[in-house]
Amino acid sequence: MFHKEGFKIIAITFMIIAILTVIIDRFVSIQWLQYLLFFTLFIFLVLILQFFRNPKRLTVLSDSTVVSPVDGKVVVIEEVFEPEYFKDKRLQVSVFMSPINVHVTRYPISGQVAYSKYHPGKYLVAWHPKASTDNERTTVVVENQAYGKVLYRQIAGALAKRIVNYAKEGDTAAQGSDSGFIKFGSRVDLYLPLGTNIKVGLNQKVKGGESIIAEI
């Protein structure tokens, strides 16, 4: 199953590969070189298909837990000052996505979207200290009665050139459901209330919509 954001790119990729296959077959006479080029095209197709995959995830709905919004590795767990929305100290948990991870972004909690804003910016590597404030990004805040407000921020990386965000202010968010997509490498930051019980550790691998990041 593939994400809708990849349909156009996948179709174009198939067309390009079909054209290149015909060209290679007609104009490349050296057999070993033909095989090498065909194999390269096949690997390229596999990479595109796996990048836009959208596997089904079983989210155990709970207003007292925060699930990971994306697949990847936990690279930051620390108390920080959040300057855009809360303007106070929060617990930040950041998940880094490599190009081979699933890049669907999912709602970390159920509730109502209280804030959603896009920020144009740079394309520093996703683990750069200034990526959270200088890179292209979107900020979304979801609120429910049990947990209060949780902010998550999609951050473009050096390869990511487009962030897709479906969340609009006033929308009803369902925990674990699609809220966006980031193309080609990136990270997502979560900002949680102080005192939150963090359930993951640094360098731990997590799955979007399934892994529990924190709980009340």
Catalytic residues: 186
- Which residues sit opposite 139 in a β-bridge? 117, 153
Task: Annotate the chain with DSSP letters as a single string.
Answer: -B-GGGHHHHHHHHHHHHHHHHHHHHH---HHHHHHHHHHHHHHHHHHHHHTB---------TTEEE-SSSEEEEEEEEEEETTTT-EEEEEEEEEE-TTS--EEE-SS-EEEEEEEEE--B---TTSTTHHHHBSEEEEEEEETTTEEEEEEEEE-SS---EEE---TTPEE-TTSEEEEE-SSEEEEEEE-TT-EE---TT-EE-TTTSEEEE-
Other C-beta atoms lying within 10 Å of the C-beta of residue 94: 23
